[in-house]
Structures are given as C-alpha cells and as structure tokens.
Structure 1
C-alpha cells in the first residue's frame, strides 16, 4: 500500500499526496487493531520524487524484492469517499476479486474499472506484471487544489480519509490472503 511523500512546491501537498501516505499507514494500523494477521506481508511505502521523475518507484521496481511483489496499491488522488477501485493486470485475475467486490460494494467501493495503469509510482511494478490497484474517488473538486497553493490540510475531511483507509485495508487484507498468486 502506498502514496508519495513529495508535493508540488506551491502547496503543502495535503491532497497530493499526504492523504495517500496517511491512508496507507492506516492499513497496517487497522489490521493490528482488529488483531488479524494476513498470510502475506503488507508493506507501506511512501514514495519519493513522484512529482519530479518518479525515482522512488523506478528504483523500487529494480530491486530484487520487486519480483516477489504479490500486488501493489497506490492512493494518489486525495481522499474523498471511495467509489471503487481501478485494477491494472490480466483479465484472467478478475474472478479472484468476486468475494472482495461483494465486501467492498457494501461501502460503495467495488472493483469497478480495469485500466492499463493505475498509479504513477507503482506503474513500474505494473510494467513487470505486478497486479496493481488504486482507489477511485469523486474528483470533481480535487483538481481545484491539485498542484496549487490551495492544496492544504483544511481540504481534508477526516471521515472520508478514514473511509479510504478502511477500504484499502479490506483490499490489502483480501489480496494478502488469496490462496494463489494472481495471474501475471
């Protein structure tokens, strides 16, 4: 689970992308609070240099461990109520998500779109065949603040931030507990 640390120099980067880092950190916190332990490791990554060359994502994808990466999730569009997930990977993987889709749809966040790429930082993993995911949001207001001096903490709604973290935790836990690797 991941987001990026750096921001555009005009604002504080609250929406782009402190929210992504915060909800990623919420995932293992929630799993620990619920006293549930996934079969696979859930790793939090705070990428660096997304705004200016994606060196963090590019370097990580070169590491040996990247070949063992089971899946990747990146949140990088603020944090309003999650309405779904984007998925980048093989069509053959979609049936694996039926149980997760049922659970997430109760929160209004079903696995709803397949795309070629779902996140800048994880795109380098996606290119290596790693199944990748990103939460989808209502972004009607996000681009009013994106890369501007108005990208500040007061634009974050704590309830919606918590919703995103919860939905990402369900997805991460579900992926970490799949019986077999997803098709690559």
Structure 2
C-alpha cells in the first residue's frame, strides 16, 4: 500500500477521530488511549507554531481523509539559528494496526512496515518545511529501536549527501 505524511486540517482530524474510535469499539479495543492521542493531536496542528513545539502529522493512504497513524514531530532551532533538528518522537498506529490485530492478520505487519517507512521518509522530506539538516528518530520501544538499527545499516549504502548513525536510542541522519 502507498502511504504518505501530511499535515492535519480540522476535517482530516475529525475524520480520523471518528474512524479510530469506531474501529476501536468494533474491535473490542479500549478507546481511552486513542482518545488521548487524538486529543493531543488536536492541539498540535498549528504548523507555524514556535520553536520547540510538537506537531501532529498524519500518515494517510492515497485518497483517504483518515490517518492510519499519527506522527509526533518536534522541531528545535539550533543556537546558530540557521537550521535546526527535526525529531520524530513517536508513531501512534490506528486501532486497525493494534498488536492484537497484527497477530490476527499477519499480512498487516507489512503494512505497518510501510507506515513506518512513510513516517521516516516523510520526516526527512519535511526538513524543507522545518529548516533542518539533522533528523532524529527515537526508538521508543525495543521493536522500533531494532528497526532503526537495521535501517541505519542500510542507510550507509543508500545515502549520498547525508550520513546516519545511532546515538543511544536515536537514529540520526545528517545532511552535508
């Protein structure tokens, strides 16, 4: 499946909220955590906010108004002022991709990988919107950390005008 990262507007956020809560209820998954994520996202869709603020970006399937994931990004200006760091702190998947659903339908694992790939590549592409030469991706849990370690190894052969390295649980991609 083809996914891409994009900003939320209120209509997309409302459609995502409705889909996620209805999906959680239909799947018998408690919706409390999804409500918390969606509430947080509703306060993070001002993309012109000040330095150090957190932004909610959606991962969308082509032609869809509902996000399949919400990405928590933070942009921080560096002290020299010309560029900064763009950090991907978390990716929250919709109830359709909850661990119980992935175990029930193993083919969804490939979709989860595609969603994470879109989040990572999309974050790197956002450096033109949020002037940054460094993208930091946080390996919040062990599975994501292992994914970033493997991705780092692959990036060494793929990157031409950038370098990548692991710094603790962070995958750091720096442009030259």
TM-score, structure 2 length as denominator?
0.26
Return the index of the structure with the highest Cα Rg: 2
Greater RCO (Cα-Cα under 8 Å, separation 6 or more): 1
